[in-house]
Amino acid sequence: MSKTNSGNFFEDYSVGQVIDHAVPRTVSGGERALYHMLYPARHALHSSDAFAQGCGLANSPMDDLIAFHIVFGKSVPDISLNAVANLGYAECRWITPVREGDTIRSTSEVIGLKQNSNGRSGVVYVRTKGTNQRGETVMQFVRWVMVRKGDLDAPAPETVIPELAKVVDVADLTIPEGLNFENYDFTLAGEQHCLADYKVGEIIDHVDGVTIEEAEHMMATRLWQNTAKVHFDVTSRPDGKRLMYGGHVISMARALTFNGLANAQMMVAINGGAHANPCFAGDTVRAWSEVLDVAETDAPGVGAIRLRLVATKGGEVGTLKGDDGKYLPHVLLDLDYWALMPV
């Protein structure tokens, strides 16, 4: 029997199954510095202890997407090694910020299954949860992936499609304990616009572009111990290209939003998202945002802004889908999330 992990196939999953993912990870100032090296991340709350303390926190938490990438990366060997496609995200919520010294692990529960009509693959829905060394939930999200069958003769499971919220309710957002934007320093944050300055429907062009190299996306993906072959091995695709980890595009685009959304300090939820087209080294990634909603929270001075974040490799700002309802070829990512912003 082979000792290597060939991954799970569609027929290996059952609704209710809980999978403990391997290789917990302790993070330090190293991961924090690397995040700043890999992405043009400048949101002040994630850059400066002093700024974070001015917002009522003990120190600067790690970038929210560091938690996402680690929790996601751990799930890859068990969930998406034989995935044909990563189809969607929902109900992603950050609960406890990650700080230096924390050890993160990750667990997934299968919450839905649907075999495709061709009998060769199926959709697996999992709720993946990250916890720290104190057993606190760091974050959780639902994703669904299309997974190949290993044994085409395996019987189709009963179809279970979970009911998922289209948008995380504002009341369900977790505001980090102590967060207070009443004495927020807009100058050090980099922009003067507060929540009241953003109107629903407003579109923001984030202007800057970043051309990505193979070394960068591979190092970023490896950093989170994400081992999917297609990101690293030129022999794994017929075209000899290394597919960029979708999370690299998310982090790049989110960092680019600083220019226009410098005060959208913390991501607290992802309502949904799609990797519209693949991204490859040599592409120049740009971003634009659309304001989808604004809301109050119970924390002093803290509002919530719901944003559509679109990453592109060119094309006109604001264009997303063609007449056929499909994403235009220049669109890389369409992400719907909630962030916290001074009111």
Integer Cα distance of 342 and 263 in angstroms: 7
Q: Which is nearer to a copy of itself, 144 or 245 (CB)?
A: 245
Q: How far is the CB of 33 from a copy of itself (least distance, A)?
A: 3
Return all residues near 127 (Cβ < 8 A) that are at least 6 apart: 91, 108, 109, 111, 140, 141, 142
Torsion of CA 26, 47, 287, 305, to 10 degrees: 100
The token pair that represents 247 in the structure block: 């999370």
Q: Which is nearer to a copy of itself, 185 or 293 (CB)?
A: 185
Beta-bridge mates of residue 336: 272, 308
Integer Cα distance of 203 and 292 in angstroms: 10
Q: Which is nearer to a copy of itself, 5 or 183 (CB)?
A: 5
312: how many CB neighbours lie within 10 A of its CB?
A: 28
Position of tokens 């592409």? 283
**Helix residue ranges per DSSP H, the chain:** 29-38, 49-54, 64-79, 186-189, 214-223, 246-256, 258-261
Q: Which is nearer to a copy of itself, 2 or 117 (CB)?
A: 2
4: how many CB neighbours lie within 10 A of its CB?
A: 5
Q: How far is the CB of 292 from a copy of itself (least distance, A)?
A: 16
Q: How far is the CB of 27 from a copy of itself (least distance, A)?
A: 8
Q: Which is nearer to a copy of itself, 42 or 148 (CB)?
A: 42
Residue 108 DSSP label? E
Q: Which is nearer to a copy of itself, 165 or 234 (CB)?
A: 234
Q: Which is nearer to a copy of itself, 9 or 144 (CB)?
A: 9
Position of tokens 């007449």? 323
Integer Cα distance of 181 and 39 in angstroms: 25
Q: How far is the CB of 179 from a copy of itself (least distance, A)?
A: 18
Q: How far is the CB of 303 from a copy of itself (least distance, A)?
A: 16
Please name which of 150, 5, 148 lies closest in space to residue 77, comparing C-alpha atoms. Answer: 5
Q: How far is the CB of 105 from a copy of itself (least distance, A)?
A: 7
Integer Cα distance of 59 and 68 in angstroms: 20
Q: How far is the CB of 241 from a copy of itself (least distance, A)?
A: 11
